[in-house]
Every structure is written in C-alpha cells, then in structure tokens.
C-alpha cells in the first residue's frame, strides 16, 4: 500500500497537533473546551468509530440516543449537537464535507462478527478490540469496558428505510472528506479506525484517517 | 411449539414507577399495557457478569432492523442472546428514543409533582428510575446503556427524521420475553421522552412471570435469521459444562 498523504490543510491557522491513524489503529487523547477537531477520511469510504467522554468524569459519555432524540433525526451532520448520557452538549459538528454520519450501527466487535458473518470470524480484528487495547495501554484516562458505549461511525452510511429496515450501504464519503467538531466541554476522544473486512462499507480495503486539532 | 408461558406470578407496575429482578434462563416475562400509549423502558444485564449487557446497536444490525418485535432477539455486547421476543401484539418497539430525563419536564411543560404533593403519583423520570435500579446492584451512570422502549414506536422518513406515533400501543397489548441466559432485568413505566401528552401520563402495565421451554430449531426467534441461529450457538458455547 502507498504511504498515506497528509490532508490538505485549508484552515488559515496551522493546527496544534495532527495525528495519522492507520486502518486498525486507535487514538486516545484529550480535547479542551473550545478546541476544534477535524477528522479527515484520507482515501475515502473509511469508518472512524468514535467515543467521547467528559474528561472530568468519564462516567458521563457520548449518548447516541440522547443525541438523535434531541435533534429529532438519526443522522449526524453540520449543526448536530453530540449529547452525553446526562443529556448535556459535549461537542458540536461545525463543518462536514461528507454530509451524513451514522450513530445507530455501533462498532464492530469480534463477538458480533461471529453473529453477523460466521462463527469462525472471531479472530478478525475489530473496533471494540481496538478500544480495549487503547484503554489497557492508557489507564491514565480511567476507562474500562463498562465505559464502552454506543458510538459514532464518522463517514459511515447506515440508512433506515421508511419500512424500518436497516442497511449497511456503500459509503457516501470520498478521499479528503472531513468532519469538524468544536468541543463544548473538556473531553477524552477515543477512536478506532475501523479494520472491518466483512462488509462493503470500506470497499474491503480499510484506509488511514487523520486528525487535526486547533486551539479555537 | 407452545409459546404460552406457564404463569407463576402476577403483579402490576403502575405508571411512572420502576422495578428490577434477576430472572433465570427459561423464565418468561409478559407485559400487558393497561392503557393506550403505555411505555416500558427496559435494560438487561448478564446476572453473572453485568459488564455484559444489552447492546441495541448489535441487536439492530444483527437482524437488519430498526424496529424490534416478535421473532427478534435482544443481544448482549458479547454476541449472545440475553432474551427473545416470543410473543408481541404491538411490534415496532423503539431502540433509539432513550429515557425521559429530568430536563425534559420544563421543555415539555409537564408539571413536576414531588412526593410531598403527589405521594406515589409523583412524576419520576426514566433516567433517574434506571439510576436507582442500577445502584441496587453496585452499578451506576457508567453502566447506563441505550434502553429499549417497549410499546413505543418512532417512524423514520427518508431524511432520517424521527416521529413519535402516539396511538401505537392499544390497551391490552401484550409482549412476552423469554430469557436465554440469567439476566438482571430493569424496567420502568415512565413516559416515552417524545410523548406529546399535555401533562405527564401515568400508564401502568400488568406483569406475568413464568417459564417457557427452551427454543428448538423451529423457534420463532432462533429460526428468524441465520444470525440468530449463530447467536444461540454462542449461548450454547457459554453454557457448556452447565
Ligand atoms: Zn469497526
């Protein structure tokens, strides 16, 4: 595979930090209130499985159900307010060149892969295994399995039909598409760059993403 | 296959109240709506290891559905079936609405009736109800996962916009769950957070507890899709040696 090229930086200010996350790798870090995070889908059709925690008390964390109920809509895009398990605003999506992100489908795991695909897929790398490694390597954040909740899949398309069906559709993302968020509180960010090889969401070729962080 | 449970125990949960119980594998729980527009918030945890719990994203995507009903299994985050919906008059149960929170009262214009004024007709929130029941097992906010709202349905349009259907559940509608592992069950009868009633509705449910035989290959839930057969295979592995 070719070395991934860094994202085009279209913002006026250079970022405080940038992190490249290859497919199947993870990121854990802090974002201060008011900081801006851009997640870039470098090669397109990748899924960034993301969790957020209140950095002061990680028992309060991103809640998909509070988020979709309060905005009255299943999909996330510019203007969406990401809410916590206490129904408080955690982050806001301020820019989105992709147009739609999923928060219904959850993250892949070796256990759910056995159900969804075949019992012998258990050994395949998954997002939840990725998160487990991240929290095991970083006890300083105080996260354990009990804190692993219902996440966001940035760049992923999981349309619900009016009849109530659920589909994992071809991605609507593309190379260089990004989503940008502003933090409303100090948060811990936990991302698995999805290694999923069982469904067509990444065209069976998981690719890198990049994070850019600005002070404001 | 007889899916009418042997009922051992009957009780009632009035509207706006909460309850929890450990139920063994093979137990059944039937909920019967006493009034139209009932809502029952439901959470499930493995009784043996509560770190294993109801996972609605896995539940929906394993069965390619947004609404849950008869024939569907309720999955844990570990790829196992905690409970199955074996009978269901209502269907369309909501997996994304979450709980009524204390912050909703003012926004909805619902009076907050405290115990001093209302005694047991006080107006509790589903969020606090769940925290109370979780605390009885040493669990807390970090263990709060997305709850199922039985009897409540949300419609979705092409743009993903959600709409609460106020007349979805009729009085007398029944839902029966069969427990496939030993499970901690937490229930509340607080209203759905999108319920448009002009004031807080108190709508209770009747509860019947009993037993059902284990599923065979023709079972409505096990045979619903290949995924569910594999979910039950995972249960079989978990139960080896028992
Ligand atoms: Zn994944």
Residue B79 gets the label, from left (phi > 0), alpha (psi -120 to 50) or beta, of: left
Calculate how close chain A gets to B9, using CA atoms only, in Å: 33
Give pLDDT, residue B3. 81
Does A106 sit within 8 Å of B75, measured CB to CB? no
Give the residue extent of every domain in chain A. Answer: 38-209
B156 chain-A contacts, CB cut-off 8 A: 74, 160, 162, 164
A150 chain-B contacts, CB cut-off 8 A: 55-57, 145-146
Give pLDDT, residue A199. 79
Does B58 sit within 8 Å of A58, measured CB to CB? no
Give pLDDT, residue A10. 56
Q: How far apart are the CA of A35 and the centre of ligand 1, in A?
A: 26
Q: How many CB atoms lie within 10 A of CB A13?
A: 10
Q: pLDDT by residue (tens digit) across B139-190?
A: 999 999 999 999 999 999 999 999 999 989 999 999 999 999 999 999 999 9
Residue A47 gets the label, from left (phi > 0), alpha (psi -120 to 50) or beta, of: beta
Give the CA angle between residues B193, B56, B29 to the nearest 5°. 80
CA B98 from chain center: how many Å?
11
Give pLDDT, residue A6. 53
Give pLDDT, residue B218. 96
Q: pLDDT by residue (tens digit) across B6-34?
A: 999 999 999 999 999 999 999 999 999 99
B127 chain-A contacts, CB cut-off 8 A: 87
Q: Is A116 on the interface with B (CB under 8 A)?
A: yes
Question: Which residues have a Cβ under 8 Å from the Cβ of A70 and sit 6 or more positions away?
Answer: A81, A83, A87
Interface size A-B, in CB pairs within 8 Å, comes to 134
- How far the first Cα of chain A sits from its last, in Å, is 35
Rounded Cα–Cα distance for residues A151 and A167 (Å):
17
For residue B1, pLDDT beyond 80: no
Q: pLDDT by residue (tens digit) across A5-63?
A: 555 555 568 999 999 999 999 999 999 999 999 999 999 999 999 999 999 999 999 99
Q: pLDDT by residue (tens digit) across A145-167?
A: 999 999 999 999 889 988 889 88
Q: Mean pLDDT in chain B? A: 97
Q: Mean pLDDT in chain A? A: 92
Calculate how close chain B gets to A159, using CA atoms only, in Å: 8
% of chain A surpassing 70 pLDDT: 94
Partner-chain residue, chosen from A100, A107, A164, that has the shortest CB–CB distance to B66: A164
Q: pLDDT by residue (tens digit) across B83-131?
A: 999 999 999 999 999 999 999 999 999 999 999 999 999 999 999 999 9
Q: Is A168 on the interface with B (CB under 8 A)?
A: yes
Rounded Cα–Cα distance for residues B137 and B184 (Å):
9
Q: pLDDT by residue (tens digit) across B38-96?
A: 999 999 999 999 999 999 999 999 999 999 999 999 999 999 999 999 999 999 999 99
Q: How far apart are the CA of A46 and the centre of ligand 1, in A?
A: 10
A60 chain-B contacts, CB cut-off 8 A: 141
Q: Which of B104, B88, B102, B226 is nearest to B148 (CA)?
A: B88
Helix (H, G, I), strand (E, B) or coil at A2: coil
Q: Taking a C-beta distance cutoff of 8 angstroms, is the pair B233, B62 a contact?
A: no
Partner-chain residue, chosen from A58, A72, A113, that has the shortest CB–CB distance to B161: A72
Which residues 34-63 in chain A show a CB within 8 A of chain B? 58-61, 63
What confidence category does residue A198 fall into, taking pLDDT thresholds of 50, 70 and 90? confident
Does B143 sit within 8 Å of A146, measured CB to CB? yes
B231 chain-A contacts, CB cut-off 8 A: 115
Give pLDDT, residue A2. 44
For residue A113, pLDDT beyond 90: yes
Q: What token pair was written down for B147?
A: 């709850």
B234 chain-A contacts, CB cut-off 8 A: 111, 114-115, 119
Rounded Cα–Cα distance for residues A143 and A23 (Å):
22
Partner-chain residue, chosen from B51, B159, B193, that has the shortest CB–CB distance to A69: B193
């Amino acid at each position: 595979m070719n070395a991934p090229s860094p994202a085009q930086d279209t913002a006026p200010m250079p970022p405080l930090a940038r992190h490249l996350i290859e497919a199947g790798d993870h990121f854990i870090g802090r974002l201060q209130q008011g900081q801006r995070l851009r997640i870039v889908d470098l090669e397109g059709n990748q899924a960034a499985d993301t969790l957020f925690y209140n950095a002061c008390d990680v028992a309060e964390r991103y809640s998909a159900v509070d988020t979709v109920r309060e905005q009255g809509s299943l999909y996330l895009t510019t203007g969406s307010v990401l809410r916590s398990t206490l129904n408080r605003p955690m982050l806001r999506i301020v820019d989105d060149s992709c147009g739609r992100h999923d928060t219904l489908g959850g993250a892949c795991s070796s256990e759910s892969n056995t159900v969804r695909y075949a019992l012998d897929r258990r050994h395949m790398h998954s997002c939840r295994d990725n998160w487990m490694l991240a929290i095991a390597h970083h006890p300083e954040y105080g996260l354990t399995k009990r804190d692993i909740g219902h996440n966001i899949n940035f760049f992923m398309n999981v349309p619900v039909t009016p009849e109530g069906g659920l589909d994992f559709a071809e991605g609507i993302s593309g190379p260089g598409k990004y989503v940008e968020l502003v933090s409303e509180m100090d948060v811990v960010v936990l991302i698995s760059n999805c290694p999923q090889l069982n469904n067509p969401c990444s065209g069976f070729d998981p690719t890198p993403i990049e994070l850019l962080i600005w002070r404001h | 296959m007889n899916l009418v449970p042997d009922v051992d125990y009957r009780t009632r949960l009035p509207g706006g109240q909460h309850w929890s119980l450990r139920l063994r594998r093979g137990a059944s729980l039937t909920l019967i709506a006493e009034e139209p527009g009932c809502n029952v918030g439901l959470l499930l945890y493995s009784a043996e290891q509560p770190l294993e719990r109801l996972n609605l994203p896995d539940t929906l995507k394993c069965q390619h559905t947004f609404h849950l009903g008869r024939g569907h299994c309720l999955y844990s985050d570990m790829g196992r079936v905690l409970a199955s919906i074996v009978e269901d008059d209502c269907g369309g149960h909501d997996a994304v609405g979450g709980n009524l929170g204390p912050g909703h009262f003012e926004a909805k214009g619902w009076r907050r009736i405290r115990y001093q004024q209302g005694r047991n007709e006080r107006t509790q929130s589903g969020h606090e109800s769940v925290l109370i029941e979780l605390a009885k097992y040493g669990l807390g906010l970090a263990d709060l996962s997305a709850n199922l709202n039985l009897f409540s349905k949300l419609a979705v349009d092409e743009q993903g916009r959600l709409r609460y259907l106020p007349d979805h559940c009729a009085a007398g509608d029944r839902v029966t769950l069969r427990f496939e592992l030993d499970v901690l069950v937490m229930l509340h009868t607080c209203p759905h957070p999108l319920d448009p009633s002009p004031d807080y509705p108190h709508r209770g449910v009747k509860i019947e507890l009993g037993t059902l035989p284990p599923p065979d290959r023709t079972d409505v839930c096990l045979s619903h899709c290949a995924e569910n057969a594999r979910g039950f295979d995972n249960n079989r592995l978990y139960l080896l040696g028992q």
